[in-house]
Amino acid sequence: MKAVLLDRDGVINALVYHEDAGVIDSPFRASQFKLLPGVPEAIRLLNDMGLKVAVVSNQPGIAKGHLKPAMLKTFDRRMLSGIRTAGGHIDRIYYCLHHPEAKVLKLRQRCRCHKPEIGLLEQAAEDLRVSLLECYMVGDGIPDLLAGARAGCRTIFIGRWKCEVCQFTEAPHVHAALIAESLWDAALLIQAEMRGTRPITSSYKCLSAQA
């Protein structure tokens, strides 16, 4: 394997409960952008394994009028500087800014890059000069798993709630190849696979059954 493609919200940074709207969504303000524990170290570990690392993320918040493009840049700076504290780096960042019902007209479109479409993944693989078959796709949502599977990536689901994964039992094609509690755990699984110290078989199981 040559590269790791990462979803952003829920994988790299924490999701935010927006009290006013009563929804859990991406951060909208700088103070809401917080890296999840172990993320800088996880990315450093992936770097050290010689893997390229790219972010591939749907970010419809600008289209929906929740934030300005400059805020997305601010989040990028916070993300990259936080990762740098552990000596890690991200090679590329790709966002789909589109949304079919966008308030911002130029972003109102059905595109090829909004996961579960695979446009962002294809662009990342092309720029990183790797095959999608040589990529892990790491995400905390069904669109991440669908895009990863369609693109031929090895998928890793990040899930922190026990029963979250049960919804997937109904839809076999979205089963992740591997399940991890955090990006740090995912990096350890990748390390184990790359070293051949863990069998390359699906670790899919209902997490609640383990409890």
Q: How far is the CB of 58 from Mg ion (least distance, A)?
A: 8
Among residues 93, 113, 147, 176, the one that binds Zn ion under rule CB under 5 A: 113
- d(C-alpha 47, C-alpha 175), whole Å: 26
The single-letter code of the amino acid at 157 is F
Spell out the residues 6+ positions from residue 53 whose beta carbon is closer than 8 angstroms to its own.
3, 4, 6, 43, 46, 47, 88, 89, 90, 91
69-77, 111-119, 133-141, 156-164 -> range binding Zn ion (CB under 5 A): 111-119
- d(C-alpha 198, C-alpha 189), whole Å: 8
Backbone angles phi, psi at 109, to 5 degrees: -160, 155
Residues of this chain, 3-32, that bind Mg ion according to CB under 5 A: 7, 9-10
Q: How far is the CB of 123 from Mg ion (least distance, A)?
A: 18
Q: Does 115 bind Mg ion (CB under 5 A)?
A: no
The token pair at 1 is 């394997």
Q: Does 140 bind Mg ion (CB under 5 A)?
A: yes
Q: Does 46 bind Zn ion (CB under 5 A)?
A: no
What secondary structure letter does DSSP report for 52? Answer: E
Q: Does 111 bind Zn ion (CB under 5 A)?
A: yes
* Number of amino acids touching Zn ion (CB under 5 A): 5
* Chain contacts with Mg ion (rule: CB under 5 A): 7, 9-10, 140-141
